[in-house]
Structure 1
Amino acid sequence: MSSPPTVSDAPENRQWVTEADDYVCELPEETQAIALEELREDQDIRQSALASMREWIKQNPRIKNCRMDAKFLLRFLRFKKYHIPLAQEALERYLLLRQTFGVAFNCLDITIPMMEELTNLGYIFACPKRDKNGRRVIVTRPGVFDLDKFTNGDMCRIHGIAYETLMEDEENQIRGFVHFADGQGVGFAYLTLFTIKEAVRIVKNGEKSMASTFIHQ
């Protein structure tokens, strides 16, 4: 893994978006049981892991700005089943992805006209009901993406809006996602949206850092 750019700021000058440590798990008992069985998550492990992640972030000279609230950090801990070094690596990859593809994470406003139009077209959406395993189903319809109207930046941003929103839901962090893509209307012209290098980087770093369970259908 290539390291993110080193930040010269001294720790006391770095900025943390933080919340109190008094995290209270409000998940249904069924979901907590799944987290315990699949992720080894209980109150003691969760609090110990959160403390380790926060201390590591503060001491990491490569990280300048980072959220410190439990809900955000649990994304990565649950993603890696509380294997602390792997969760730390996933967080660094995520921050690097945000830095490299800032357009996917900046101005995540659904009221931006292009984002509103893509939403109304049904380019990407989460089904209102979960599957039989409780996973959220995400549907993507790339065929409605008009190449003459929208840019690859628009595509990155609408995906950023969708995934960043869904990953705030702890139920999704634990149960994961099913991804369904409707290929109707997709042609070779869509291959020009990203260079091969960009596409590989997005897929590779995205799957290894976005803390979501990818099940392609």
Structure 2
Amino acid sequence: MSQLNIRAINADLQKLANEELNEMPERVAADIEALRTWIQQQPHLRARDDDQFLLSFLRGCKFSLEKAKGKIDKYYTLRTKYPDFFGAYDVNDPKIRAVFNAGIILLLPKPLHEQGPRIILIRQGALPADEYTIEHFIRAASHLQEIIIRNDDHAIISGMISIIDIENCTPGHVMQMTPSVMKKMSIHAEEAVPLRPKQQHFIHIPSGFETVFNAIRPLMTKKQQNRISVHAENLDRFYEHVPRSYLPVEYGGDNGTIAEIISYTNKQLDEYRDYFKENKNYGTDESLRSGKPIDFESLFGVEGSFRKLEVD
């Protein structure tokens, strides 16, 4: 078996991976090879299979080979079926750059307590709702997610904390979150991406938001619902989870300025330009899938009950 081409991680992260993710360093090479072999045996699936990419999925599934197979399949299945949402192919797309340049999605440089979860700040109202759609936002997030999957050991091993600041959100922003969109986002986040969400905090909640939130809450999985905390103007309880120092300078912290984070993200997108172009070579062909094809319309339609993706 050839030598693995993966990043070395520090002792603290390795200890966490061993204890919480069931990682056994002496077995990692065999686990990666088993996952790669399975991918190559799937006639419907064209997926990246380099060591680092596959290791992220194994870690994101606590080294359950069967769960990692399912996540990789769903990752490419959803991208192929819904490229307007999950397609990560073109970092030069002006709408995607507009989302990042407005600071709507900010991946903060310092993880919580140095070795803890990576923190992502979402400022949904940073652009007027008539200048971008929810599809642009999700597609931009999909590009950043893939960079995280490839680059960010803290996010993969320690997990992620999401902070959603809706201070400047308008009814136009809220109306974009239709039940169909919510279902797509929920399934993708929970079943297709090898990231480990730990907490989700909504801050600067305006009057009446909880009514809207309670209407969309049932569209989330139980796990997602349990991770969510809602905070109004008094953020003391929020700071118990995420101390102020771990927020950007504009939020009273010292975890980078918004301008610095935007600049770094744009640099990463530029560096990955050719990589994302290559993503056109990967995906699924449902006509070649063994067993019953997935009924996407029933799964994600506005009507009907919420159900999980089932992949043979």
Q: Secondary structure at the match of 2:200?
A: coil
- The CA distance in 1 between the partners of 2:80 and 2:3, in whole Å, is 27
Q: Would you say 1:69 and 2:50 are equivalent positions?
A: yes
**Structure 1 residues without counterparts, runs of 5 or longer:** 1-19
Residue 21 (structure 1) shift: 5.5
Q: Would you say 1:168 and 2:150 are equivalent positions?
A: yes
| AA in 2 matched with 1:23 | N
* Cross-structure match for 1:4: none
**Structure 1 residues 101 and 21, CA gap change in structure 2 (3 angstroms):** farther
| AA in 2 matched with 1:76 | F
Q: Would you say 1:32 and 2:8 are equivalent positions?
A: no
Q: Is the 1:108–1:157 contact (alpha carbons within 8 Å) kept by the matching residues of 2?
A: no
Q: Is the 1:94–1:206 contact (alpha carbons within 8 Å) kept by the matching residues of 2?
A: no
* Cross-structure match for 1:113: 94
Residue 55 of structure 1 is aligned with which of 37, 40, 48? 37
Equivalent residues in 2 for 1:92-171, closer than 5 Å:
92-103=73-84, 104-109=86-91, 111-132=92-113, 133-169=115-151, 170-171=153-154
- The CA distance in 2 between the partners of 1:154 and 1:24, in whole Å, is 32
With structure 1 as the length reference, what TM-score do the two structures score? Answer: 0.82
Residue 119 (structure 1) shift: 1.9
Q: Give structure 1 regions of 4+ aligned residues with deviation exceeding 4 angstroms.
A: none
**Structure 2 residues without counterparts, runs of 5 or longer:** 202-312
Query: Cα RMSD between the aligned structures?
Result: 1.9
Q: Would you say 1:180 and 2:180 are equivalent positions?
A: no
Residue 45 (structure 1) shift: 2.1
Residue 28 of structure 2 is aligned with which of 8, 31, 46? 46
| AA in 2 matched with 1:164 | E
- The CA distance in 1 between the partners of 2:127 and 2:186, in whole Å, is 19
- The CA distance in 1 between the partners of 2:6 and 2:193, in whole Å, is 24
The number of residue pairs the alignment matches comes to: 196
Q: Is the 2:108–2:121 contact (alpha carbons within 8 Å) kept by the matching residues of 1?
A: yes
- The CA distance in 2 between the partners of 1:106 and 1:127, in whole Å, is 21
* Cross-structure match for 2:189: 206
Residue 38 (structure 1) shift: 1.1
Deviates more, 1:49-58 or 1:170-179: 170-179
Q: Is the 1:121–1:144 contact (alpha carbons within 8 Å) kept by the matching residues of 2?
A: yes
